[in-house]
Amino acid sequence: MNDVFVPHAALAEELLALLPSGSDGAHDLAHVLRVWANARRIAAAEGGDGEILTAAVLLHDCVHVEKSSPLRAQASRLAAARAADILSGRGWAVARTRRVAHAIAAHSFSAGIAPKTIEAKVLQDADRLDAIGCVGIARCFYTGGRMGSALYHPTDPAGRDRPLDDAAYALDHFRAKLLKLQDGFQTATGARLAAERSRVVADFLAAFETEIGADGMA
């Protein structure tokens, strides 16, 4: 599998061994590999330091915080601090360690940190791409199930006459977050891919609401 990370396979082998083995299937090794595929595709067009980007992708979720935790908004900062400790302990220069840490801290939607480097922009775009499209839809309902959410509000699925509550209803997450993500992409390549995947999300939502008869509710 480390061949996926060539020419930084040795670094990948070292860092993959340090990843936490949690039970969250939305933030597991498969997620890391998808984010890497996205990042590599974006970086091929936008540039960036390959070693820094590899380390940032591999360690961007190295501290796991549940979605329901009050520390959720701090998750990327905690991961950045942990990543800095890991890389410093392996002899990385301070400046390069800081670039990895910044990319990790800035990748999170909830952190609200503006990415200042190309690697940070690529990682943020790559991670957000995994939240939309077919995979994003699957992750939305998977996470809703883990958190005990209902599929949708039984009488007002589209949230026409109530505040959206994506902690209670998985479908609310489409309007509360997923359909808004494409507006915040940092690179031209990421934005193009986001527009394609956002259309998938919008089409799914429309078809889903037609199936459940949402037009006749509320």
153 SS3 class: coil
Spatial CA neighbour of 53 closest among 103, 112, 3, 114: 103
Residues 192 and 143 in one domain: yes
Domains in the chain: how many in total? 2
Name the more confident of 16 and 92.
Answer: 92
Predicted local confidence at residue 15, as pLDDT: 92
Bridge partner residues of 150 (DSSP): 169
Does 103 or 1 have the greater pLDDT score? Answer: 103
**CA–CA distance, 88 with 149 (Å, rounded to integer):** 40
Task: Please indicate, yes or no, whether residues 170 and 198 belong to a single structural domain of this protein.
Answer: yes
117-148: burial string, b at 16+ Cβ within 10 Å, e else? bbbbbbbbbbbbbbbbbebbbebbeebbeeee
pLDDT of residue 71 exceeding 90, the answer is no
pLDDT of residue 32: 92
Domain identity same for 29 and 81: yes
User: Which tens digits make up the pLDDT trace of 4-21?
Assistant: 898 899 999 999 888 877
Judgement on whether residues 163 and 110 belong to the same structural domain of the protein: no
pLDDT, tens digit, for every residue of 164-174? 999 999 999 99
94 plus 162 within the same structural domain:
no
Instruction: Looking at the structure, tell me whether residues 167 and 82 fall in a common domain.
Output: no
In degrees and rounded to multiples of 5, residue 215 shows phi and psi of: -65, -25
What's the pLDDT score for residue 75? 86
pTM comes to 0.92
pLDDT over threshold 60, residue 218: no
DSSP bridge pairs for 127: none
Same structural domain, 4 and 101: yes
* Domain ranges, residue 75: 1-115
97 lies in the same domain as 67: yes
Q: What is the mean pLDDT of the chain?
A: 91
